[in-house]
Each structure stands twice: as structure tokens, then as C-alpha cells.
Chains A and B, each alone.
Chain A
Amino acid sequence: MAHIAEQADQAREPSIAVGSKQPGWRFLSSRAALYLIVAVVVLVQFFPIIWSVLTSLMSPAETTSIPATLLPAHPSLTNYQQALTSDIGGFKIGQFYLNSVIVSTVSTIVTMFLAMLAAYAFARLNFRFKSQILLIVLALSLFPPLAQLIPILRILILSKTILGIQLFGTIGALIVPYSVLGLPLAILILIAFFQEIPKDLEEAAMIDGMSRFQAFLRVILPLTIPGFFTTAIIVFVGNWNEYLFALNYTTTSSYTLPVGIVTISQSEYVTNFGILTAATVMAVVPLVVLILLLERRIVSGLTAGAVKG
């Protein structure tokens, strides 16, 4: 039966047939079944965000009514307004947003630059002690961040003593550890992506007269753009959501979004769920939209350019 449906589907609209790339998806070719699954997956994945949006529109009394109010009676944006105007020692959530953007972006760029070089070396070059060096790189990421909190603090203090650079209490105190602590995972992931590119490509380039490093820059790097971008997203979101260092190495002016949200939404005993969810929605939605847009633009743009050049 599935077979017949599959043929019918193919005959009708081959271009948008489900899984034209992977033939097997055609057993699902009944559109209804497909979109039912999509609906379920989307509901599950979006669930807390949907509930957050609803809660953020409720009045304070509705957020803790027993049993819970499912839909706000009089949806209002008061919680958003409060989240935006809550003053923490002279700083507002906009500042924390900016801090998060700067910290996550700068440290992601640094991590990706360093990891790219190292991953290429691990994936493509022959050198002595390769597995031992990889083990060291990996091992340094295996201690729980909690155990690293105070030792890294001492290094940050040391940076001031020796170099005169004040890191502790500034966003630099986050950029430095994030840039380094993201390295092992970024390297591991990038190695896998480098592996997928056929060896012949760079050999061909080298026969054409490029040096090894030129081949890396001009041939391999463009081809790994999708993998590079995926890795960058992973590193970026990891930095964006980090809480422990962001709490402990900062002053109010350098708080990042997660710390800011927790601070504005809770008092000693009571959590203001309206503000908490409003702030979370404001933190998450722009981030996801931005990633989706960037992914579409950058990845398609760069890969297209790479093929031409």
C-alpha cells in the first residue's frame, strides 16, 4: 500500500515529495501523517516556551492560581514592561543582553579560530604524539566546571598581578574562560567535520601548486562552512547559557542574561513567574530567529561563493 501511495505521490509532485533525498520517507507520504508528526514534535519541543508566553501575559495572581490558569483572562504586556525596566543597581536587562551578546560572540570567535587550526592538524596532518596530545586536550575539559571555579579565579587574579589586566569583575573574566573551556568540544566536533571531506581535494590543490596551509585556507575551509557554522552555534549557545562563571566572576554591570533574569525575577522567597517567563521569552526568541536567519544567509551564501571561487 505504501508503495502505491509512494508512486502516486511521486507522479503528482516529485519536486516536493517528502524525502526526495531519502527515498524511504515516502512511506509517510500521506501528508496528514507527516504534518501530524511535525505538530507533535513541534509541540513537545516548544512546550515550555508556549507556556512561558502564556504565563508572561498573565497577572501575578494568575501565575500562582490553584489550579493553574491555562489562558490569561486579560492578556497584558505588563510583565515584559517590568522585565525591561527592572533596575538592578543602576543596570537593566538591556545591559545584560548586550553583555551576553559581546561575551558569547567574542569568545565564540576566539574559540572557533583556535579550534579550527587545531582540528585541522588533528584530522589531516601527520605528526608525532598525536593521540597523546588529543588526550591532553580532551582531559583538560573533563573536570567539572564547579571544581574549576576557584582555580580559574586565581588565574584571573594573577593576570592582574603579573600583566596588570583587571579581568575579575569585568566581562573579560567570562570571555577568557569561555574561549578556552569551549576548545576541547569545538576541536572534537570540527575534527569529525574535517574527516568528511575527501582527501583528494587538497591533494589536487597541492598538485596545483598550493602549499598545505593554502590548501587548508582556500579549499578545505570553505567546504567545512556548514560544519563550522554548526560548531559555532553549539559553542555560542553554550556560552550564552553559562551560569556558574557568569554569576561568580562578574559585578552587576557585567552580568549576563541568565544571571540577570534570575536576579530580576526572584526575591528572597518568591519567584515572580510572570517576569521570569517574559524575560526568558525575550532572551530565547530573538536568539533562535537570529540563528535561523544567519544559518540561511551565511551558510548558503558562503558555500555558494566557495563553489564558484
Chain B
Amino acid sequence: MQATFAPTDEVRESTGMSGAALPPGRRGPLARREERLAFAMLTPVLLALFALGLYPAITTVWYSLQSGGYQGINTSYAGFANYIRLFHDPLFWSSLRFSLLFSIITVSGQMILGTALALFANAKFPGRWVLRAAILFPWAIPTATNSVIWAYMFNYQYGLFNSILIHLHVITPATTINWLGGTTSATVLIYIIAIWKANSLVALLVLAGLQSIPDEIYEAARVDGATYFQTLWRVTLPLLRPTLIVALIVRIIESLQAFDIISAFTNGSPGTSTQNLGLYIYSEISNGDFGYSSTIATVVMVLTVAFIFFYLRTLTRSASAR
């Protein structure tokens, strides 16, 4: 357990928490009062999370040690059989590979584009409300219909994009592009749509972060003769670090759990080449195999934790190198 906790210090450090606990013996009355206040403020959240979050978490881990039965009924203890099965399951490895690549590429894309969008929307010019609306729109479309609409636009027969290309005389009606039917094109489109859909969240967070940076800091940088990109790199981004890290963590969690954005778009096709772990969990649940789906879900959880730590470590390292 100690090993698990070590990296959380980085969370603390990176978000600037000064939570180094003093040994209880040396705490003054003031510190104890502060601690009482802290626990009073935390209690509602912890109660809520324990009431609703604890049981599903335990259930999932517990089912991952069960096999047989149907929809979680009449299962029996199987030790680590499900994990061994995972290890020998090529579909698990290909889904894992897709999930990892999806997470790395889309989260990077969302961070870069979202930050750029926010910097842009933060600039003062007439009509910038349009940009603020542009930040909100992709994200406000329900995911369930968003993917259906995108799949409609990329439809092989009556899709918008093929029609545009036909009108531009790039292709003919006989040579329409089978966007969703090719492994590479389907994969790239999933990346693009996922980036497009969620850069909003990063942009919103960064925008709020930018508003808290005082103008004087930019003024000082300007007086020093810094160019825009120097200011951005040396002043703005370091000040945004806490916000960026939070955006990163939020996006990593959601990217690794991605499900409906892909299910309504390609449903993992062609074949299983765009199947991620989220889709695999769903198909195992609908096959009634709670044991195996819970095992994959547990792996996703572990993976998420590992990813967050990896990102944080890289970030804190590059920050200290600078």
C-alpha cells in the first residue's frame, strides 16, 4: 500500500497542497480545531461516496474473482482464473492497445487544442463570445446522438463528406470513400471526434485559470521584452500548471473509460480493430459474463491510476528540469 500512496504526494505537491501531517502529539489546539473543521467539511462527501461508490467498487473487484453463472447469478469463486484468461486473450490485448493509444493521442490533442482554444478565447476582441459558444457546442451535444450524427456524416452512401468531395470533383459517386469501413480511417476519425468532443472541457478549465492570472504579470513580461511565445512558455503555462494537471487527470479518466463515443460510431468495427476496453466490458456484460467484465473493469481502474501517476511524474520531472 505504501507504494500506492507515494505518488499521491505528487498530486498534493502538484496541486500545491501543504498537507504534511504533523505527528498527532505535537498538534496545538489551533491545529486540532482546523482538523475538526476539515473532517466536518469532508464528512458529507465521504458518507455520500461510501454509500454509493464503495459497494460497486468492492462488487467489481469481488466479481473479478468469480466465474460462471449468468448476469452475476450463480457464479463461483475462481481465484485469478479471469486474470489468467485475460493474459491469454488476444482480444483483450488488442482492446488494451486501442485504449492506450486512444488515451495518449486524444488526451494530448485535447490538452493542446483545448489550451489553444482557451488562449484564443481569452484574447480581447469584438465578437469573442462566438468563440465561447464554439467552446461549448461540441460538448453540449449528447454523446449518444453525437456519434450517430458523426457516423451519419461519414456514411459511405449518403454521408455529407462523400457528397462534399463529389461536389468538389475529388471523387465520383462510384469511388466514394468507405470512411468507417477501413481500419486506419475509422481509427483516425475516432481520434478526431474524441478530441473535437472534449477539448471543450480543457478549454473551459484553462479559460477559468487564465482569468485568475493578473494583468500585471503580462505587463512585466512585456516590459522585459519577452515575445508572445516566450511569455506563454515561461509565464502563462507555468501559472496554469495546477489547472492543466487537473484537466489532464479528468481527461485521462474519461478517455480510458470511453464507451458511447465509439459504440454508436463504429461499434468496434471493422472486425475488432476499433474495440477498446469500454466496449469489451459492455459486450461481456451483455454476454452475461460478470466475472470477466468485472476483471476488465478492474484492469481499467488500475490502468487509470497508473496513467495518472505516469503523467504526473513526467510533468513534475520536466517542470523541475526547467
Contact = CB atoms under 8 A, between A and B. Distances in A.
A184 B44 CA distance: 13
Interface string B179-212: 0000000000000000010000100110111011
A69 B253 CA distance: 39
Given A45-B134, A142-B301, A196 B242 contact: yes
A127 interface: yes
Contacts of A42: 130-131, 134
Given A22-B119, A22-B122, A118-B41, A65 B158 contact: yes
Given A49-B137, A117-B45, A276 B148 contact: yes
A146 B204 contact: no
Which of A17, A129, A234: most chain B Cβ within 10 A? Answer: A234
A42 B120 CA distance: 12
A67 B162 contact: yes
A268 to B, nearest CB: 15
Contacts, number: 350
Interface of B: 4-5, 8-9, 11-12, 15-22, 24, 31, 33-35, 37-39, 41-42, 44-46, 48-49, 51-57, 59-60, 72, 117, 119-120, 122-127, 129-146, 148-150, 152-153, 155, 157-160, 162-164, 166-167, 173, 176, 196, 201, 204-205, 207-209, 211-212, 215, 218, 221-222, 227-229, 231-232, 236, 242-243, 245-246, 249-250, 253, 257, 259-260, 278, 281-282, 285, 290, 293-294, 297-298, 300-301, 304-305
Q: Is the interface of A mostly helix, strand, loop or mixed?
A: helix
A250 interface: no
B136 A288 contact: yes
Nearest to B61: A143
Interface stretch (A24-32, A72-80, A86-94): A24-32
Interface string A147-165: 1111110110000000000
Chain A, interface size category, equals: 35 or more
Contact of B229 (A24, A55, A142, A230): A24
A147 B37 CA distance: 35
A254 interface: no
Interface in A18-64: 18-27, 34, 37-38, 41-42, 44-46, 48-49, 51-52, 55, 63-64
Nearest to B60: A147
Nearest to A15: B124
Given A46-B134, A130-B17, A142-B304, A52 B149 contact: yes
27 contacts: A19-B124, A48-B141, A48-B149, A55-B152, A64-B158, A66-B158, A118-B42, A121-B37, A123-B15, A127-B39, A134-B12, A137-B49, A142-B253, A144-B300, A145-B259, A188-B246, A193-B212, A196-B209, A196-B242, A230-B204, A230-B205, A240-B140, A271-B152, A277-B149, A284-B141, A291-B136, A292-B132
A85 interface: no
A227 interface: yes
Contacts of A262: 144-145, 148
A109 interface: no
B19 A16 contact: no
A70 interface: yes
Interface in A183-210: 183-185, 187-189, 191-193, 195-196
